[in-house]
């Protein structure tokens, strides 16, 4: 397995709309495994293919406390969204940035699994928020898009400053639990 490079905001490639996956073959499974490894290595709870510059409809997540319940969703579709909830989110493509976003507290999603078989799953709380966040990535949407233009500009400037500092010191900043 390989750890993949994660695109960071405001990289325009994060705005690409992902295309459906025709068949879950070995290449798709390998990508899902690499994405899981990348997500765990970055201490994230979710990752969309868009974030590793692959513009196909695939996401992975694991919100279990032991990080041992990986979920792979190919061509995910929301079939139910219920109960709005406001929750603080982060994103591996926006290191160190957190903001409150309104999502559905309970969802039902239909997808193909790692084995290519269709299935439906219910998710609530953190799991539901994570899946909605990752599905937004597949549309080229980021959680900062829910904020005001002013806030987004401040975040952009802060990230650019931090990236320059990182480049100067040759260090990478520590990351908290983010998706």
Q: Which residues bind Zn ion (CB under 5 A)?
A: 91, 179
39 contacts 64 by C-beta, under 8 angstroms: no
**Continuous segment of H or E residues that includes residue 107:** strand 94-112
Residue 21 or 135 with smaller CB distance to Zn ion: 135
DSSP string covering 40-104, please? HHTTBSEEEGGGGT--BSEEEE---TTS---EEEEEEEEEEEEEEEEEEEEETTEEEEEEEEEEE
Residue 63 or 91 with smaller CB distance to Zn ion: 91
To Zn ion, the closest distance from the beta carbon of 40 in angstroms equals 15
95 contacts 175 by C-beta, under 8 angstroms: yes
**Choice among 37, 82, 134, 139 that is catalytic:** 134
Whether omega before 62 lies within 30 degrees of 0, making that bond cis, reads no
Residue 95 or 114 with smaller CB distance to Zn ion: 95
To Zn ion, the closest distance from the beta carbon of 153 in angstroms equals 19
* DSSP annotation of 9: T
To Zn ion, the closest distance from the beta carbon of 137 in angstroms equals 6
To Zn ion, the closest distance from the beta carbon of 38 in angstroms equals 12
| Alpha-carbon span 141 to 60, nearest angstrom | 17
Nearest residue to 144 via CA among 135, 132, 156, 134? 156
Residue 27 or 176 with smaller CB distance to Zn ion: 176
The yes-or-no answer on residue 160 being catalytic is: no
Catalytic residues, by residue number, are 134
């Amino acid at each position: 397995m390989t750890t993949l490079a994660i695109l960071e905001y405001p990289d325009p490639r994060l705005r690409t709309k992902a295309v459906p996956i025709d068949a879950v073959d070995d290449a798709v499974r390998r990508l899902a495994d690499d994405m899981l490894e990348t997500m765990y290595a970055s201490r994230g709870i979710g990752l969309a293919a868009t974030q590793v510059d692959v513009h196909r409809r695939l996401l992975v997540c694991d919100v279990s406390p032991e990080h041992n319940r990986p979920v792979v969703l190919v061509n995910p579709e929301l079939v139910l969204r219920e109960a709005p909830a406001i929750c603080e989110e982060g994103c591996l493509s926006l290191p160190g940035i957190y903001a409150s976003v309104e999502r559905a507290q309970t969802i039902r999603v239909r997808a193909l699994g790692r084995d290519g078989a269709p299935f439906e799953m219910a998710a609530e709380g953190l799991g539901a928020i994570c899946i909605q966040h990752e599905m937004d990535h597949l549309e080229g949407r980021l959680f900062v898009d829910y904020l005001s233009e002013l806030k987004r500009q401040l975040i952009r400037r802060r990230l650019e400053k931090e990236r320059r500092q990182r480049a100067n010191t040759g260090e990478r900043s520590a990351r908290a639990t983010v998706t």
